[in-house]
Structure formats: C-alpha cells, structure tokens
Amino acid sequence: MSESYLLAGRFGAATRLTPKALRLYAEQGLLVPAYTDPATGYRYYAPEQAARARLIARLRRLGIPVGRVAQLIELDATSRLAELRSWLAAQNERLVEQSELVDAIARQTDGQDAELAQAIAIRDVPACKLIYRQRLVAIDGLDPFVASAEADIRSYLGRCGIANDGAMTVHFHDTVSRDSEGLVEVAIAYAGSVEPADDLRIRLQATRREVYLPVPPSYEAFPRILRVYDAIEAWLDAQSDINGSGSPYEITPGSHGASFDVAYPIT
C-alpha cells in the first residue's frame, strides 16, 4: 500500500467526516474506500477522493438527505449549483411560512389583527345549484388546479347553453400545505338544467348562514392569507352563540370590491 493513501481515521479528520459517516457513505456507495486490507479490514482512501468527501460533508451539513446527496454529487458543477439554489429558495419559502405560523400563534395569544376582525360580518346565502370538480392538491398545485377547473366548468356550462358567469367557490375540505395534499373543490353556481360530465359533478347547496371577511389585497397571497382564516377562527372562538358548521371556502368575486371573500358556514 502506497504511503500516499490514508487510513479512514486520518482521511476523516482531513475531510471533517466521522468514522460513522465514512462507514455509512461507503455502504451507500457515495464514498467507497480506494482499498480495503483483506487481512485487517482497514480502509484506505486516496488523496484524490478528498474533494468528493468534502463536497459530501458540505451537502450533508445543509441537511440534504443521503439519497439526494448521491444524485447531486454526480451532476456537473453548473447543474449542481442550479439545483442547490432551487433547493435554497424552497427552504426560504418554508422559513417564511414557518415565521407566519409563529406569528399566527402569537396573534391567537394576544388578540392581534383587530383591523381584520372589524371587517368580519354574517350573511344569509340562498340555495343554489353547483357544478364542481374535486382534487387532492398541495399548495404548489392549488392555483393551477383552481384556474383549470374554473376554465373547464365555465366552458362546459357555455357549451350546454347555460349562463356561465356564476360565482365561484373554492372549498377546502382538508388542510392544504407544502408538505401534504388536501381535498379541494372548485364549484360554480348556475341556474337551469345540466348533466354531470367526466369528473364534473352536480349538487344542491342548501340555504345557509356564513361568517365572511372580504380579503384585503395585501392578504391575498399565501402565506398571509392564513391571517384571514386565523381572524375568522378567532372571532368564532369568541362567540358563545355561533358555531362553525363545516369547512371554509373562498368566494370569487368578493364583496365590497374585494377579489374574494373567505367564509365559514355557521349555525
């Protein structure tokens, strides 16, 4: 064995990798020893493996899973940097979302967002017929799904000779986040007679009461829209004679000049 080769301990010290990490990366095929002594089992690494080892160490310090590291180290430098910048942007978005959730907890504790709370109102909604589409989506897929569903539904109503300018509601039957999908329903009110088609379904929306809040323009985008939901839920929690009776929904167009309202059915 050439003296230029390093035992695992010395190689790990030079590249800031622990013996445990070196064993794991060898097992995963990320960083295989240049030579293993069959008699002693000692593992030796070549000096030219140091750059790869340091790259692996830095990627792992970023918190990137081993499986993803295995993909990144095989890319050329330009492609790898592009992937890492995209990953970093996603991490920054997640941090913004987490910060907003912490703020939401603080608002729940000290009763902030009084301006939003003052805009909350109650109204009666007459019965109507709805044609709708449902799908499991995460946050990244929410806007494209809503846009495509609305376009398909309005187009279908038009082809059936039915007025297609009714209000649109987006119902959130489950929690929708970056990490998990939730069931979302896009529905449009219509008058007349039409048959369901493909994944477009029809139902009657009974007369109901709802608590609603016209969404200010600065609150329309995620994650600030969560503050609107928080404000209504805090308002509901403070009422002794009013209870939420179902999942929330967004109504387009909104009231009082807002692009859309957020509403909860109540009893």
Strand ranges across the sheet with 208-214: 121-125, 208-214, 261-266, 249-252, 168-172, 182-190, 128-137, 201-205
Q: Same structural domain for residues 198 and 97?
A: no
Query: When comparing pLDDT for 80 and 90, which is higher?
Result: 80
Q: Same structural domain for residues 94 and 126?
A: no
Domain that holds residue 59: 6-74
Domain count of the chain?
A: 3
Neighbours of 259 (CB within 10 A): 13
Strand ranges across the sheet with 35-36: 6-7, 43-45, 35-36
| 68 belongs to a structural domain | yes
For the cut 70, the answer to whether the pLDDT of residue 183 exceeds it is yes
pLDDT of residue 31: 92
55's CB contacts (< 8 A; 6+ apart) are 73
pTM over 0.85: no
Q: Which range has the worst mean pLDDT, 105-114, 161-170, 236-245?
A: 105-114
pLDDT of residue 110: 60
Tokens at residue 148, please? 């495509």
What CATH number is attached to the domain comprising 46?
1.10.1660.10
Q: Same structural domain for residues 187 and 108?
A: no
> Chain-wide mean pLDDT for the chain?
89
95's CB contacts (< 8 A; 6+ apart) are none
What CATH number is attached to the domain comprising 261?
3.20.80.10
| 177 belongs to a structural domain | yes
Q: Same structural domain for residues 119 and 201?
A: yes
83-136 pLDDT tens trace = 999 999 888 888 887 887 777 677 655 655 778 888 999 999 999 999 999 999
| 199 belongs to a structural domain | yes
Q: Same structural domain for residues 70 and 83?
A: no
Q: Same structural domain for residues 199 and 103?
A: no
The torsion angles phi and psi of 55, rounded to 5 degrees, stand at -65, -45
Q: Same structural domain for residues 201 and 135?
A: yes
205-228 pLDDT tens trace = 999 999 999 999 999 987 788 889
| 153 belongs to a structural domain | yes
Q: Same structural domain for residues 11 and 61?
A: yes
Q: Same structural domain for residues 39 and 100?
A: no
Q: Same structural domain for residues 225 and 138?
A: yes
Q: Same structural domain for residues 162 and 226?
A: yes
| 1 belongs to a structural domain | no
Q: Same structural domain for residues 95 and 172?
A: no
The DSSP call for residue 47 is G
